[in-house]
Chains A and B, each alone.
Chain A
Amino acid sequence: MNRWKSGWIALLLCAAPAAARAGTISGVVKDINSGGGLSGVTISDGTHSTTTGSTGSYALAEAAGTYTLTATRVSYLKTSLVVTVGSGTVTTNWALTPSYGTQVIPAASMQYVIFAWNDLGMHCDQDDYSYFMVLPPYNTMHAQVFHRGDGQPITSGITVSYSFPKKTNSTLHTNFWSYAAQYGFNVAPNVGITGTPLAGNMKLDANGLGFVAVGIPLTPYDDDGTWDPYGTGTITVKSSTGQVLQTATVVGPVSTEMMCVNCHSASNPQLDILQRHDQHQGTTLASDQSKGIVHACSECHPDNALGRAGKPGVESLSLAMHNFHKDKMASTSTALNTTPDCYNCHPGPKTQCMRGIMERAGKTCHDCHGDIYGVTNSLLAGRRDWLDEPKCGSCHDAKHAENSGTLYRNSVLKNAPDGDMNNRIYCEGCHNGTHGEFTTQVAADQSIPKKFQGDGYWIWSCTVCHSSGYGSGSMHH
Chain B
Amino acid sequence: MVRLRTIFAAAGAAVLLAACSRGGEPRAALDRFFGSQIRKDYAATYDCYDGAYRAKVSRDEYVRHRAEASTLESYQVLSLEQRGDQAHAAVVLVFAASPKVGRLAPASTTVQEDLVRGPEGWRVRVW
A-side residues, CB < 8 A to B, are 127-128, 130, 165-166, 168-169, 171-175, 177-178, 220-228, 230, 232, 256, 350, 442-444
Contact (Cβ within 8 A) B58 A350: yes
Complex interface: chain A residues within 8 A of B65 (CB): 127, 220-221, 227, 256
Given A224-B93, A226-B126, 17 further pairs, Cβ under 8 A: A171-B101, A171-B107, A172-B70, A173-B69, A173-B70, A222-B111, A222-B126, A223-B109, A224-B113, A226-B49, A227-B57, A227-B68, A227-B69, A230-B56, A232-B127, A256-B65, A443-B52
Contact (Cβ within 8 A) A172 B95: yes
Complex interface: chain B residues within 8 A of A256 (CB): 65, 68
Choose from A130, A172, A174, A177 the contact partner of B109 (Cβ within 8 Å): A172
Contact (Cβ within 8 A) A225 B66: yes
From DSSP, what is the main secondary structure of chain B's interface residues? mixed
Known: A165-B112, A171-B101, A178-B102. A444 touches B93 (CB 8 A): no
Contact (Cβ within 8 A) B100 A175: yes
| Minimal Cβ-Cβ distance residue in B for A221 | B69
User: Is B20 engaged at the interface, CB distance under 8 Å to the other chain?
Assistant: no
CA of A104 to CA of B95, assembled, Å = 47
Complex interface: chain A residues within 8 A of B49 (CB): 226
Contact (Cβ within 8 A) B126 A228: yes
Known: A225-B37, A225-B72, A350-B61. A173 touches B101 (CB 8 A): yes
CA of A116 to CA of B95, assembled, Å = 33
Contact (Cβ within 8 A) A442 B66: no
Q: Distance in Å from the Cβ of A254 to the closest Cβ of chain B?
A: 12
B-side residues, CB < 8 A to A, are 37, 49, 52-53, 56-58, 61-62, 65-66, 68-70, 72, 91, 93, 95, 100-103, 107, 109, 111-113, 126-127
CA of A173 to CA of B102, assembled, Å = 10
Contact (Cβ within 8 A) A225 B101: no
From DSSP, what is the main secondary structure of chain A's interface residues? loop
Q: Distance in Å from the Cβ of B23 to the closest Cβ of chain A?
A: 23
Complex interface: chain B residues within 8 A of A130 (CB): 100
Contact (Cβ within 8 A) A223 B126: no
Contact (Cβ within 8 A) A442 B56: yes
Q: Distance in Å from the Cβ of B90 to the closest Cβ of chain A?
A: 12
Q: Distance in Å from the Cβ of A118 to the closest Cβ of chain B?
A: 15
Q: Distance in Å from the Cβ of B108 to the closest Cβ of chain A?
A: 10
A–B pairs, 9, beta carbons within 8 Å: A128-B68, A166-B126, A169-B109, A172-B101, A224-B113, A225-B95, A226-B53, A230-B56, A256-B65
| Minimal Cβ-Cβ distance residue in A for B91 | A224
Contact (Cβ within 8 A) A172 B107: yes
| Minimal Cβ-Cβ distance residue in A for B63 | A227
Contact (Cβ within 8 A) B56 A225: no
Contact (Cβ within 8 A) A350 B101: no
Contact (Cβ within 8 A) B62 A128: no
| Minimal Cβ-Cβ distance residue in B for A348 | B61
| Minimal Cβ-Cβ distance residue in B for A175 | B101
| Minimal Cβ-Cβ distance residue in A for B103 | A171
Complex interface: chain A residues within 8 A of B109 (CB): 168-169, 172, 223
CA of A359 to CA of B68, assembled, Å = 29
| Minimal Cβ-Cβ distance residue in A for B100 | A175
Contact (Cβ within 8 A) A227 B66: yes
Known: A165-B112, A220-B65, A442-B56. A225 touches B70 (CB 8 A): yes
CA of A174 to CA of B113, assembled, Å = 21
CA of A168 to CA of B109, assembled, Å = 9
Complex interface: chain A residues within 8 A of B111 (CB): 166, 222-224
Q: Distance in Å from the Cβ of A25 to the closest Cβ of chain B?
A: 37
Among B56, B61, B62, B112, the most chain A Cβ lie within 10 Å of the Cβ of: B56
Among A127, A177, A220, the most chain B Cβ lie within 10 Å of the Cβ of: A127
CA of A128 to CA of B112, assembled, Å = 26
CA of A477 to CA of B50, assembled, Å = 44
Complex interface: chain A residues within 8 A of B113 (CB): 224
Q: Distance in Å from the Cβ of B76 to the closest Cβ of chain A?
A: 13
| Minimal Cβ-Cβ distance residue in B for A127 | B68
CA of A101 to CA of B35, assembled, Å = 47
Q: Distance in Å from the Cβ of A194 to the closest Cβ of chain B?
A: 22
Contact (Cβ within 8 A) B101 A178: yes
Complex interface: chain B residues within 8 A of A174 (CB): 101
Complex interface: chain B residues within 8 A of A444 (CB): 127
Complex interface: chain A residues within 8 A of B103 (CB): 171
Complex interface: chain B residues within 8 A of A165 (CB): 112
CA of A166 to CA of B111, assembled, Å = 7
